[in-house]
A and B are shown apart, each in its own frame.
Chain A
Amino acid sequence: GDSVTQMEGPVTLSEEAFLTINCTYTATGYPSLFWYVQYPGEGLQLLLKATKADDKGSNKGFEATYRKETTSFHLEKGSVQVSDSAVYFCALNGGSQGNLIFGKGTKLSVKP
């Protein structure tokens, strides 16, 4: 079945460092891909998404490109801030009912 695999955390970076969180997927058809972010004590919120191959989603300095050839949707940011500390979830819309299928989440901690 459809699935999402993202890198294990936690990831600890210094402020202004470059961030990459890897995400790969397995899916039939042509799913849309998403990154959600969960700040401490809050629900998940959409960070960015891409709906077809080669699309780039971007928001708040974060980017991810839908790579069909490598079945990947890696999240990147050029210079992280302390306020980016959160858990990041990669997801695709798939499954028998077309629901969102989430990865296990990657916790990011940014130190000043």
Chain B
Amino acid sequence: DAGVIQSPRHEVTEMGQEVTLRCKPISGHNSLFWYRQTMMRGLELLIYFNNNVPIDDSGMPEDRFSAKMPNASFSTLKIQPSEPRDSAVYFCASSERGGRETQYFGPGTRLLVL
């Protein structure tokens, strides 16, 4: 299996621009997670989908962040407008059945907002 696929791997953008991060979960997995990792705050869960439905988005920092999962094989995390404090590594992970199961992480997208 190819594992969780994320794109792009690196993104450099200017403040105010829209950023879209993409994720393809492992085939057959029903749950998908978006995390953000920074030195200061560590690993934070942003949003969690189960069967393409958002279950918990309490970690989404503010209205500038939005996430969608239009089908079982694709999800996006969008930041509009982006700010320098959004600079971080964003990880997507998937699991077979819900948050209690083992999660498989993608390689991450390293975002730098100038």
Chain A interface residues toward B at CB < 8 A? 32, 34, 36, 41-46, 49, 89, 93, 95-100, 102, 104-105
Q: B61-69, B79-87, B96-104: which one contacts chain A?
A: B96-104
Q: Output the nearest chain A residue to B110 by Cβ-Cβ distance.
A: A41
Given A89-B43, A105-B43, A45-B105 contact (CB < 8 Å)? yes
Q: How many residues of B contact A (CB 8 A)?
A: 21
In the bound complex, residues from chain A placing their C-beta under 8 Å from that of B45 are: 99-100
A46 with B102: CB separation less than 8 A: yes
Given A89-B43, A104-B42, A99-B107 contact (CB < 8 Å)? no
A93 with B100: CB separation less than 8 A: yes
B42 with A97: CB separation less than 8 A: no
In the bound complex, residues from chain A placing their C-beta under 8 Å from that of B101 are: 93
B106 with A43: CB separation less than 8 A: yes
Report B88-114 CB contacts with A as 1/0, cut-off 8 Å: 000101000011111111111000000
A32 with B100: CB separation less than 8 A: yes
11 more CB-based (< 8 A) A-B contacts, given A44-B105, A102-B42: A32-B100, A36-B105, A42-B107, A43-B107, A46-B103, A89-B43, A97-B48, A98-B100, A99-B56, A100-B100, A104-B42
